[in-house]
């Protein structure tokens, strides 16, 4: 019987990509395994997995392929979801819990990353992001399974927390060290990796403002939620070997923010900066690998020694550098050396200079395109695929947007050429995927005409495939095209495009018996969008009654499928339809009906932030009712509930950006408080206090930005603030917990005497 390990779970987290997080994790894992520890690495970067790349060349081709094709995290999540939904009794649910408690779903996913020749008593296993095909009620591609996985449903409807708790217990019981590669940013997955699973979080960051602010916020959130249960370490990365004045300033700012917002003690932070800093190195290769493998003399290699020291500090034990036989090293190096100019895996330039990498990659792509068009020599498909993939990963580290766009356009040109000159069946889908990715990542930077051209090209390519999934993609992108036309007042083009995707919808509905529930839901959302677009067009033509009927029809389509309530896109669509009805011409819809739609828009908005952005507009609808008391109570109650449950953007984040919009919020809040404050309703005091707390938070946000906003602009808000305070005083509100409203803060240029 194996002795339980009570292993240590460490999450490597970075707010942005390109800092060297995954490379650091891989090197720490390798060194730990070489020091006789049982090590498990898990790739939780589900949107952009790549942890396994760092161990290429360690295994024979057949074993390496088995690792790549193995089930992983996403398989585990869908296994639990689908099995839970099939439980028809308490006994079946108990059996499901027993299966996960036994660890069998996790055992089936783990694979070894190192051969026995590189190990003595330790091991290095991986649970990857997932297999290319995910089995559930039906078989889905990894991308489709990820796109349709809902974290709210996982927790609220299928008790998924038990699955994660079981995974955590199994990992700690079987390994000395568990290293998690987390998703970047503030996504749900990042929250799981930094708060629910780990014993320690290693915050990896480079010394720029965005990275510093991001990890400081995450640190603060972890401390607020897990207190002393999770140890947090700060790991500055890509730090220059030369201590320049600019870098010293950046380090000082990082220490200040991590102390002030992240909750670090100054002493512990200074110690982390002294011991854990990973220095930049010119010798880092342009492909994923491990420092001890490529270093000519590991004990003299600064990067290898850096990672060894990092491993010692995080694991709390001495780490010796491995003695790897030279013939084995040479064998591994031959395997991992890219086939063309050491660029095959350039996509993961997490620690190299981004500008240099992007420039070299563009040169290679243009060279490849010349080779194809001039027929000077046929490059193999594997190399070309890697080249294409690399260019669309560079956006995580690219610092120059123009260079990034130039690179992506060159890649699209290469794919266009390949799909015409070579096998269109192989290269056509890659061109489709590349255009989709370009549109998704560049939508805020593309010129309108360029975006429309790409959307039209994509529609032509997708039309060559008559499958239901291809039709659903066409519908999604035709919807985007229609909104693009509408936003630029191209009414005829809008309606023509709506007509095109409505024809596709009718085709799909003819085969509805063969469609999955997810596809049925997609169709309902698209039908609702068609109604919203048509209603918007009718409203611009002042056909308000017909617009009203279209908006109502769109809502009916959404409400006809109950399972849509958990989908973010459906919540957003529902909000937009209700907002359109609430703000429709007053001669078409009564003020009472409009107010009810405004309230419903807030209550059903889910994770969509539209209710927050539209607070003032919807409040004006409420205030337009002849007797607005009950409507105002319900509206404010809905807004405050959103404020309480939202984990992302809150009211103060949006309205606390600058004085003008903050003043607008305070004016609207004052009017609402005047109405609900005198209401004979038990909710009234709570709602008045709730709005006051939000207003105080908005002023506090402005306080933090006072140096950039300026004193004169800050004074603009004084009148709105004083009006609100007088109304609050009239209703007897205590100001003990409202420093900015009471005058104890410094959001305004003078204190206000509350006794007046």
pLDDT surpasses 70 at 347: no
Radius of gyration (C-alpha) of the chain in whole angstroms: 29
Q: d(Cα 124, Cα 37) in Å, to the nearest integer?
A: 8
> Dihedrals φ, ψ of 750, to 5°?
-150, 155
**Pairwise pLDDT comparison (345 vs 539), residue with the higher score:** 539
What pLDDT score does 340 carry?
A: 46
- Taking only the tens place, the pLDDT of each residue in 379-403 is 777 778 878 877 777 655 566 777 7
Q: How many helices (H) and strands (E) does the chain have?
A: 36, 9
Tell me the pLDDT band of 346, cut-offs 50, 70 and 90.
very low
Q: Exposed (0-12), middle (13-18) or buried (19+): which is 45, by Cβ within 10 Å?
A: buried
> In the chain, what are the domain boundaries?
10-316, 338-446, 460-589, 616-748
Instruction: Kindly state the helix (H) or strand (E) to which residue 212 belongs, with its residue range.
Output: helix 209-226
SS (H, E, C) 67-90: HHHCCCHHHHHHHHHHHHHHCCCH
What pLDDT score does 388 carry?
A: 83
Tell me the pLDDT band of 489, cut-offs 50, 70 and 90.
very high
Distant-in-sequence, close-in-space partners of 586: CB < 8 Å, separation ≥ 6: 594, 624
Concatenate the DSSP letters of all residues of 185-218 into one string.
TT-HHHHIIIIIS-SEEEEEE-SSHHHHHHHHHH
Percent of the chain exceeding pLDDT 70 equals 88
Tell me which residue of 496, 486, 565 sits closest to 525, measured CA to CA: 565
- Taking only the tens place, the pLDDT of each residue in 418-459 is 888 877 788 888 899 889 988 887 777 788 999 999 999 999
> Dihedrals φ, ψ of 537, to 5°?
-65, -45
Among 331-345, 364-378, 474-488, 602-616, the range of highest mean pLDDT: 474-488
- Say how far residue 120 (Cα) sits from the centre of its chain: 39
Instruction: Kindly state the helix (H) or strand (E) to which residue 164 belongs, with its residue range.
Output: helix 161-174
Q: d(Cα 682, Cα 674) in Å, to the nearest integer?
A: 16
Concatenate the DSSP letters of all residues of 33-74 into one string.
HHTT-EEEEEE--TTS--GGGGGTTSS-HHHHHHHHHS--HH
Concatenate the DSSP letters of all residues of 275-294 into one string.
HHPPBP-TT--SS---HHHH
**Pairwise pLDDT comparison (357 vs 386), residue with the higher score:** 386
> Dihedrals φ, ψ of 316, to 5°?
70, 35
Query: What CATH architecture is 10-316?
Result: 3-Layer(aba) Sandwich (3.40)
Q: d(Cα 756, Cα 752) in Å, to the nearest integer?
A: 9
**Pairwise pLDDT comparison (346 vs 126), residue with the higher score:** 126
Q: Name the pTM for this structure.
A: 0.56
- Taking only the tens place, the pLDDT of each residue in 623-673 is 999 999 999 999 999 999 888 876 556 788 888 888 889 999 999 999 999
What value does the mean pLDDT take over residues 330-353? 53
Does domain 460-589 bear CATH number 1.10.10? no
- Taking only the tens place, the pLDDT of each residue in 594-612 is 999 999 999 988 777 888 8
Chain position carrying tokens 């399972």: 563
pLDDT surpasses 50 at 674: yes
- Residue pair 77/160 in contact by the 8 Å Cβ criterion: yes
Tell me the pLDDT band of 66, cut-offs 50, 70 and 90.
confident
- Taking only the tens place, the pLDDT of each residue in 139-162 is 889 999 999 899 989 988 999 999
């Amino acid at each position: 019987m194996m002795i339980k390990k009570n292993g240590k779970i460490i999450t490597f987290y970075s707010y942005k990509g390109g800092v060297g997080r995954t490379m650091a994790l891989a090197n720490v894992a390798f060194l730990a395994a070489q020091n006789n520890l049982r090590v498990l690495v898990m790739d939780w970067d589900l949107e952009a997995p790549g942890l396994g790349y760092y161990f290429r060349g360690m295994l024979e081709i057949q074993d390496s392929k088995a690792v790549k094709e193995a089930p992983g995290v996403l398989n585990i999540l869908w296994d639990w979801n689908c099995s839970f939904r099939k439980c028809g009794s308490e006994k079946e649910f108990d059996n499901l819990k027993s299966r996960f408690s036994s660890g069998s779903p996790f055992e089936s996913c783990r694979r070894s990353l190192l051969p026995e020749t590189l190990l003595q008593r330790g091991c290095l296993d991986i649970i990857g992001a997932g297999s290319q095909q995910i089995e559930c009620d039906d078989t889905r591609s990894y991308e489709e399974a990820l796109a349709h996985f809902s974290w709210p449903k996982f927790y609220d409807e299928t008790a998924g927390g038990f699955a994660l708790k079981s995974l955590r217990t199994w990992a700690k019981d079987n390994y000395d060290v568990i290293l998690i590669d987390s998703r970047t940013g503030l996504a749900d997955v990042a929250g799981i990796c930094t708060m629910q699973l780990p014993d320690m979080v290693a915050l990896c960051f480079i010394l720029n403002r965005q990275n510093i602010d991001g990890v400081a916020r995450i640190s603060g959130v972890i401390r607020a939620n897990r207190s002393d249960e999770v140890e947090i370490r700060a790991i500055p990365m890509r730090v220059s070997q030369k201590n320049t004045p600019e870098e010293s300033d950046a380090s000082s700012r990082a220490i200040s923010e991590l102390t002030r917002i992240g909750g670090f003690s100054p002493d512990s932070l200074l110690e982390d900066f002294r011991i854990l800093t990973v220095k930049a190195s010119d010798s880092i290769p342009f492909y994923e690998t491990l420092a001890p493998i490529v270093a000519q003399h590991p004990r003299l290699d600064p990067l290898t020694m850096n990672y060894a020291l990092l491993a010692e500090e995080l694991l709390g034990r001495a780490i010796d550098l491995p003695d790897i036989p030279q013939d084995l090293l040479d064998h591994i190096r031959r395997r991992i050396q890219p086939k063309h100019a050491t660029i095959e895996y350039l996509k993961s330039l997490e620690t190299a200079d981004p500008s240099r990498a992007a420039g070299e990659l563009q040169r290679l792509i243009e060279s490849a395109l010349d080779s194809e068009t001039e027929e000077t020599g046929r490059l193999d498909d594997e190399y070309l695929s890697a080249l294409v993939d690399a260019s669309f990963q560079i956006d995580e580290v690219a610092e120059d947007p123009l260079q990034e766009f130039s690179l992506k356009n060159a890649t699209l040109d290469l794919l266009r050429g390949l799909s015409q000159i070579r096998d269109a069946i192989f290269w056509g889908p890659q061109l489709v995927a590349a255009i989709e990715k370009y549109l998704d990542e560049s939508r805020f930077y593309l010129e309108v005409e360029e975006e429309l051209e790409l959307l039209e090209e994509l529609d032509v390519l997708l039309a060559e495939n008559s499958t239901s999934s291809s039709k659903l993609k066409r519908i999604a992108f035709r919807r985007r095209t229609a909104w693009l036309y509408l936003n630029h007042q191209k009414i005829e083009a809008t309606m023509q495009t709506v007509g095109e995707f409505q024809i596709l919808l009718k085709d799909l509905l003819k085969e509805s018996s063969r469609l999955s529930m997810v596809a049925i839901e997609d169709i309902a959302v698209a039908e609702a969008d068609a109604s919203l677009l048509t209603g918007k067009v009718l409203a611009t033509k002042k056909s308000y009654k017909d617009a009203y009927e279209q908006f109502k029809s769109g809502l009916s389509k959404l409400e006809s499928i109950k399972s849509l309530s958990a989908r973010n896109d459906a919540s957003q669509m529902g909000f937009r339809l209700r907002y359109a009805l609430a703000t429709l011409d007053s001669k078409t819809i009564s003020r009472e009906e409009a107010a009810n739609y405004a309230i419903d828009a807030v209550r059903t908005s889910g994770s969509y932030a539209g209710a927050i952005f539209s607070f003032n507009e919807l409040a004006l609808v409420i205030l337009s009712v002849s007797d607005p008391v009950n409507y105002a109570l319900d509206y404010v109650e809905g807004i405050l509930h959103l404020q309480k449950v939202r984990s992302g953007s809150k009211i103060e984040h949006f309205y606390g950006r600058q004085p003008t919009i903050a003043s607008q919020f305070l004016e609207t809040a004052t009017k609402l408080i005047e109405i609900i404050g005198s209401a004979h309703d038990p909710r009234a005091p709570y709602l008045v206090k709730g709005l006051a707390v939000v207003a105080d938070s908005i002023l506090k946000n402005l306080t933090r930005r006072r140096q950039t906003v300026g004193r004169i602009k800050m004074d603009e808000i004084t009148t709105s603030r004083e009006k609100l305070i007088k109304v609050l005083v009239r209703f007897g509100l205590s100001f003990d917990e409202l420093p900015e409203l009471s005058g104890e803060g410094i959001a305004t240029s003078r204190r206000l005497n509350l006794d007046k």
